Structure 1
């Protein structure tokens, strides 16, 4: 139902769906437009209706009058929307660039993986990242790293392919086949049990908050995409979504390299 609120038909459509709880991605898919376009429309909608939240938006669409705002308050709302839009565009640009690199790499993982880790660390506000390739029986090898402290890198190099215990983040990830988000690696009992990986992560890497994301090709576990913060700052749901996006791209790159390798080995 169209309300007398100066919104265009498309803006009205987006406003109603967003107020009803649809995500940017859901709206974009339904309307066959890009998520960035949805965000651009929402910035215009919020400015036209002088609202600053989804609740206020729903109330305005239901016929409520606009809440009086000072010029300062209004400027703050617009600034926040502008920042959110810039962040969204940065995420889409990063994803597009990663896909471009994968397509142009001809299976060269040494070109692709550092780029994926670099974008992930930037967008997820993390200090360092590791891409572990999974062997079997809870054994991993750190194949690609970025920003990692030298002492931790040396430990990983010396360890080569190593086994992890069930209580580690990687061990739990293998068992659960789901994201493991650890608030503080030093606060868990495992840190006081002399587990070599946990001690190396915390003491050599200086890591505190940490997330491990399973890299799955169909139902097969091919690795773990891990990012670390060197202070106790748990990863938000948004950061986890971004990290999962890059984990998916890492799987694509690994599988692409494998297929190219298989083709090259055929007589």
Structure 2
């Protein structure tokens, strides 16, 4: 069958798995290859079979007659696949870099968090970022910041541990345990109130577009990873997924640091 389709045995295996609904990660784990390699194979498969979706791929594998497609449509499909592949590989490289940063820090959050935040801001094209630690009493503490305007940093220092109202992005994230993506912090109704956090964010920090991502250890909230743009440029879904990756790795770094501190305290 692979010869009839013009696919190698490996390509056919990947094509069938993907058409059956398996993810890149699942296929990669089964075949002991990287997810980026799965994507590379799929780009080749789509080009060879002249398909542009998982549904078309499944139909082709079942031997159904393909829908006619003109060359310009196929060129657009191939270009889109190539772009998606480049973006996926970039995300994998970013993850590798974050893991390298964490490993090099030897569990020291004071060393690793600014590096993670700096790298996240560069890739997410944002001006400043904050890593809030979540306290047992439900408050937030801005322990790590990068690029933050001095007036906003001073305000956060003066607040220490503070509670975020349910109308703010941080408060909504706390309540929902979900990503909160705000197009413009000045356009929301809470900005017309006297909420101190929203005014500090917008007026002292100059923030406009904002995303807050929960840092979860199991079901427990341990912090929040927030990034800010000082112009109205909404964060895309790809950017929020990238920020989520940084948040997830920050949880690992924080938990490792806490474990190391606990071990050191037990032996002191």
What is the CA–CA distance in structure 1 between the aligned matches of 2:119 and 2:22, rounded to whole Å? 27
Structure 1 residue 174: Cα displacement: 2.0
What is the CA–CA distance in structure 1 between the aligned matches of 2:3 and 2:146, rounded to whole Å? 52
What is the CA–CA distance in structure 2 between the aligned matches of 1:231 and 1:61, rounded to whole Å? 48
Number of residue pairs the alignment of both structures matches: 266
What is the CA–CA distance in structure 1 between the aligned matches of 2:65 and 2:230, rounded to whole Å? 47
1:60 paired residue number: 60
- Whether 1:207 aligns to 2:243 is no
What is the CA–CA distance in structure 1 between the aligned matches of 2:118 and 2:68, rounded to whole Å? 43
Q: Give the TM-score normalised by the residue count of structure 2.
A: 0.86
- CA change 1:79–1:110 in 2 (3 A) is farther
What is the CA–CA distance in structure 1 between the aligned matches of 2:231 and 2:26, rounded to whole Å? 34
What is the CA–CA distance in structure 1 between the aligned matches of 2:197 and 2:223, rounded to whole Å? 16
Structure 1 residue 75: Cα displacement: 4.7
Structure 1 residue 102: Cα displacement: 1.4
What is the CA–CA distance in structure 2 between the aligned matches of 1:196 and 1:253, rounded to whole Å? 30
Alignment of 1:5-154 (within 5 A): 5-62=5-62, 63-65=64-66, 67-70=68-71, 74-154=74-154
Cα RMSD (Å): 2.5
Q: Give the TM-score normalised by the residue count of structure 1.
A: 0.86
Show CA shifts across 1:243-265 (max 9, x none): 22211111110111112222223
Show CA shifts across 1:137-170 (max 9, x none): 3321211122323332232233332222122122
What is the CA–CA distance in structure 2 between the aligned matches of 1:28 and 1:257, rounded to whole Å? 31
- Whether 1:238 aligns to 2:238 is yes
- What are structure 2's unaligned runs of at least 5 residues? none
1:224 paired residue number: 224
Structure 1 residue 3: Cα displacement: 7.9
- What are structure 1's unaligned runs of at least 5 residues? none
Aligned 8 A contact 1:91 1:123 in 2: no
- CA change 1:76–1:94 in 2 (3 A) is same
More displaced stretch, 257-266 vs 21-30:
21-30
- CA change 1:160–1:189 in 2 (3 A) is same
More displaced stretch, 18-27 vs 253-262:
18-27
Aligned 8 A contact 2:56 2:66 in 1: no
- CA change 1:113–1:152 in 2 (3 A) is same
